[in-house]
Amino acid sequence: MAAEFNSIPILEFGDALSAATKPRFLSSLRHALVKVGFFYLRNPPIGAAVRDDLVRKTASFFDLPMEKKQEVAIANSRHFRGYASLGIEKTATKRDQRETLTWLPESTAPGLRHAIETYLGENQALADVFVVLVAEALDMDRNVFTRLLEKDPLTTLRIAAYPDPGIDNEPAAGFQGVGPHKDGNILTYLLQGTDHSGLEVQNRSGKWIPVPPIPDTLVVNIGRSLEVLTKGVCVATTHRVNLRSEYYHGKDNAPLGTRLTFPCFQMLSLNVTREEMELELPSHILSLREEDVKSDAETYFEEVYKGLAGEVLLINAITSYPDAGRRWYPDLMAEVLEKQQVARQKDIAG
C-alpha cells in the first residue's frame, strides 16, 4: 500500500551546498522524490530582482488589448509558441480557463523578452545543478541525468495567467484553471508569482492537498520522463489548478486580481535514444517503488511518455492546443485524438 502524504515538504537549497548539511538535504530530497513527487525549494539561486522584473513585465503583457496579444497567437506557430487565450488550451479533453504565453517578440511587450531570457538563464543554472543532486539522492552516478540533457538542453518557460473566476461564475467545487494531469518532463520549477493559492496536488489516496505560495520558494515537481527513467521510483504526481473564489482574495478579503505563474519545464534532449533511457538503478532504490497510487490523470499518457522526447513533445502539444494541432498536423492530430478518446472512455469506465 502506498505511503500517504498530507503536506508538501520544504527543502532549503543552501543545505545542498555545505558538506555538513548535504547528507540531510539528500535524504529529504529522496523522500520527496519517492513519496510525494512535489516539494518547495526555499532560497533557490534566482535573484529577487530577476524574479520581480519577470512578474512585473509579464503582467503588462496580459494587460494588453486582446487584438495586440493575438498578434502572437499560438495557432500561427507550427512549434506551438505564442499566446493562447482563455479556453484555447485543453487538459484531458476539457478546456482550461487560463491564458498562456510560451514565446514573445520584443515588439509586443518591450522588455519582456529580456526579462524572460534572464530568468531562464538563472533557472537553467539551477536545473543543471539539481539533476546532479537528484542522481546523488538516488545513489546513482551523479552525471547519469546530465548526460541525457547536455546534448541539447531544452527548458521551456510557459507563463500562465488565471483570471478571477467571480462568485457568480463558480460551480461549488471550483472550475478548471488546469485539469488534473502529470507533467511530462524531467523536473518542473514553478515560480508562483502572485499571492494566490490554486495549485493542488493529489495524494496517494486521492485527496487534494493545497500548495499555497511561500515567499522565496520554487515549487519543484517530478515529470513523467523522470518517472520512466527511474522505473517508477520517482513519482510524477497528479496536480491541478482549482479556481475557487476564495483563492482570489487576500487579507481583509481584498481582491488579488490575476494569478500569474511561471513553470520552467526541464526536458530530455530531443535526440536521446531509447537505449540511452535504459538506466541502471541500485536494488535498494528500486525497492522503494510504490504501487496502489490513485490518480485522476489520463492513463493515455503513461505509454506516450515511454517514447522518444521529440515524439512526446509533439503529442503533448497537439493535445494541449488542438486548434494549432489541426492546422499544422491534421493527420497526426486525428490519430492522437482518437486514441486519447478511447483511453478516456476506459478511464471513465474505471
Give the per-residue SS3 of 164-179. Answer: CCCHHHCCCCCEEEEE
Q: Could you tell me which of 238, 85, 218 has the C-alpha nearest to residue 163?
A: 85
Q: What is the pTM of this model?
A: 0.92
- How do residues 19-60 score in pLDDT, each as one tens digit? 999 999 999 999 999 999 999 999 999 999 999 999 999 999
CATH 2.60.120.330 fits 10-295, yes or no: yes
- The confidence score (pLDDT) of residue 216 equals 97
Residues 312, 184 contacting (CB under 8 angstroms): yes
* 18: exposed, middle or buried (Cβ count in 10 Å: 0-12, 13-18, 19+): exposed
CA 220/CA 162 separation, integer angstroms: 20
Question: What are the residue ranges spanned by the domains of the chain?
Answer: 10-295
Residues 6+ apart with CB under 8 A from 200: 208, 209, 210, 211, 239, 240, 241, 242
183 has a pLDDT exceeding 90: yes
Residues 6+ apart with CB under 8 A from 275: none
Residue 3 per-residue DSSP state: P
Residue 83's alpha-carbon distances to 179, 185, 220, in angstroms, are 19, 21, 24
**Bridge partners (DSSP) listed for residue 261:** 160, 192
3-state helix, strand, coil in the chain (%, to 5): 40, 20, 40
- Rg (alpha carbons) of the chain, rounded to whole number: 20
Q: In what order do the strands lie in the sheet with 208-210?
A: 175-181, 239-243, 199-202, 208-210
CA 16/CA 225 separation, integer angstroms: 24
- How do residues 71-126 score in pLDDT, each as one tens digit? 999 999 888 889 999 989 988 888 899 999 987 565 567 789 899 999 999 999 99
Residue 167's alpha-carbon distances to 27, 244, 300, 324, in angstroms, are 44, 9, 34, 32
* 2: exposed, middle or buried (Cβ count in 10 Å: 0-12, 13-18, 19+): middle
Percentage of the chain lying above the pLDDT 70 cut: 94
Q: Could you tell me which of 74, 102, 39 has the C-alpha nearest to residue 239?
A: 39
Three-state DSSP class for 114?
helix
For residues 147-157, give the mean pLDDT.
Answer: 83
Please enumerate, as own/partner, the contacts of 82-85 that have beta carbons within 8 Å and a separation of 24 or more.
84/321
What's the gap between Cα 82 and its chain centre?
18
In the chain, how long is the greatest CA-to-CA distance?
A: 57
- The confidence score (pLDDT) of residue 286 equals 96
- How do residues 328-344 score in pLDDT, each as one tens digit? 999 998 998 888 888 87
- The confidence score (pLDDT) of residue 108 equals 67
What secondary structure does DSSP assign to 42-82, as a single string? ES-S--HHHHHHHHHHHHHHHTS-HHHHGGGBGGG-TT--S
Which residue do the cell numbers 527511474 mark? Answer: 230
Residues 119, 54 contacting (CB under 8 angstroms): yes
The number of C-alpha atoms within 13 Å of 153 and in the hemisphere containing its C-beta is 14
Residues 270, 311 contacting (CB under 8 angstroms): no
- The confidence score (pLDDT) of residue 167 equals 56
The neighbour count for residue 6, using CB atoms within 10 Å, is 8
Which residue do the cell numbers 491534421 mark? Answer: 330
